[in-house]
Structure 1
Amino acid sequence: MNAPPSAELAPLRTLLADACRVLAARGLADGILGHVSLRVDVGRMLVRCRGPEERGLAFTTDADIRLVDLSGEPGAAGELDGGYSPPNELPLHAEVLRRRSDVDAVVHAHPPAVVAADLAGIAIRPIVGAFDIPGTRLAAGGVPVYLRGVLVRDRRLAGEMVAAMGERPVVVLRGHGLTSAAASVEQAVLQSVGVDRLATLSLRVVGAGGTLTDLPAADLAELPDLGAAFNTATAWRHELARAAVDTNG
């Protein structure tokens, strides 16, 4: 397999490859679908591309992470050599990066629980408390839904999705999956995991005959912010270790 050029970006390629494996280990991106991107500068991003030996997100290597511009052209000489091509839904990433100056990383995944919950009419809501504080806070702010179950393969459709997303960090894509956007790759992935966790719990509660109830405002106000060192750094180390166990059996 050809090694990608632009060696100075090697640590970022590793970060994105790790993110893809974490998504797969969590069951959010089974098979060959899903991708992660990271803004490098105003007009270019690193993104997981599909190569001639494609095996799916669980087996992503650094060489699968390629530098492209917002139109999908090589971001530097040789970046798409070796039979690599950007994902069909590259416009999904590019349009978020164009319109959201607060965002540098985008995750697109296909969590079955998120799709099932949405199709069942179950919104992502803050139904838990200390069980998942970051997820609860995210849900309390609202998780919008893009109502079209389409492949987001051009700027028109990507614009519709970003409009539905608004300023929120995550949007559910009807009959499709989700898009998560954040300032870092780690945060974008962890947001996806949190939304999937809430969707899974919601399906279990409803399936058991229960009724979903939002956490009372007084309880929500009591939930502390445990800080980035715990919510992101420690959580990310856990996800990496978990994915390594999953990959190595």
Structure 2
Amino acid sequence: MTTATELDTLRALISDGCRVLAARGLADGILGHISARVGAERLLVRCRGPRERGLLHTTPADIHLVDLDGRPGGPGELAGGWRPPNELPLHTEVLRTRTDVDTVVHAHPPAVVAADLAGLRIRPIIGAYDIPGTRLAAGGVPVYPRGVLVRDRRLAAEMVAALGSRPVVVLRGHGLTSTGQSVQEAVLRAVSVDGIARLSLDVAQAGGVLTDLPDEDLAELPDLGGTFNLDTAWRHELARLEPVR
């Protein structure tokens, strides 16, 4: 049983994650959301409400507990005009299908959309510049080829099928869905994919040709561990938010 204190801690973490996405330019304005699994049948998710001000200004009060069908997950959770995002099925279908996933991020990074529309896949074109991002890209980042609002289980199932067993899927003409075992992991994966998309566009604009990192170089990249890749990286992301707190 998740305690009220644990829920409050997770609400704050999701709130921070939303602001990181906005500060990094992955979720401009009011679009985008993050969810986190709470037990087998519930999730915390950034909701729509009368006091929301956009992702950069997300607070724990914007994060509400719902069940997998979008009903309140506890007393008063959707009181006062709050409602789950239209694309809640995007989150819940991933959580229903992928038992290895505890967090789902949905964002609209312009560079990811532009790179995909230009025919530029997310590939391991970099090396030590971003080791986790390189490894993610080397495993493949699939594309869901429909530019639709993922508003029901039918469309969400299509997206999940495109995602497969991978951590991130690009949504054509729309954005991306990123997953992880924690908010930090899912958000940082989205940031890495956005970074590779930006570099891909820069290289293409400069007239260059995108080339995958050679296998021998990929094999030389060390795993710097979760303390560095997640903990230190996340502290940095939170520190970048300080001017907008």
TM-score, scaled relative to structure 2: 0.98
- Cα RMSD (Å) of the superposition? 1.0
Match of 1:174 among 172, 176, 191: 172
Aligned to 2:16: 18
Show the counterpart of 1:153. 151
Match of 1:83 in 2: 81
Deviation at residue 244 of structure 1 after TM alignment? 2.2
Which of 160, 164, 168 is the aligned partner of 1:162? 160
Same amino acid, percent of matched pairs:
73
Counterpart amino acid of residue 237 in structure 2: E
Provide, for residues 17-63 of structure 1, a one-character-per-residue CA deviation record: whole Å limited to 9, x for no partner.
00000000000000000000000110000000011022100000110
Q: Distance in 2 between matches of 1:75 and 1:220?
A: 44
Q: Deviations over 1:146-189 (max 9, x none)?
A: 00000000000000000000000000000000000111110000
Aligned counterparts of 2:240 and 2:216: Cα–Cα separation in 1? 34
Structure 1 distance, partners of 2:121, 2:145, is 13
> 1:228 & 1:164 partners in 2: Cα distance?
27
Q: Could you tell me how far 1:8 is from its partner in structure 2?
A: 4.5
Large movers: runs of 4+ above 6 Å:
none
2:195 counterpart residue number: 197
1:100 aligns with 2:80: no
Q: Secondary structure of 2:65's partner?
A: strand
Looking at structure 1, the residues matched to 4 and 68 of structure 2 have their Cα atoms a distance apart, in angstroms, of 17
Selected match of 2:216 from 215, 218, 234 = 218
Match of 1:73 in 2: 71
> Aligned residue for 1:125?
123
Deviation at 1:218, TM superposition (A): 0.1
Unpaired runs of at least 5, structure 2: none
**Residue-pair matches, total:** 243
- Alpha-carbon separation, structure 1, partners of 2:241 and 2:222: 28
In structure 1, the gaps of 5 or more residues are none
Match of 1:49 among 40, 47, 66: 47
CA distance in 1, matches of 2:237, 2:181: 18
1:6 and 1:76 in contact (8 A); partners too: no
TM-score of the aligned structures, taking structure 1 as reference length: 0.96
Question: What is the letter of the counterpart of residue 199 of structure 1?
Answer: A
**Cα separation, 2, equivalents of 1:236 and 1:8:** 19
Q: What is the CA-CA distance between 1:7 and the residue it aligns to? A: 5.1
Secondary structure of 2:241's counterpart equals helix
Deviations 1:95-122 (A, max 9, x none): 0000000000000000000000000000
Give the AA of the match of 2:51: E
1:146–1:164 contact (8 Å) kept in structure 2: yes
1:9 maps to 2:7: yes
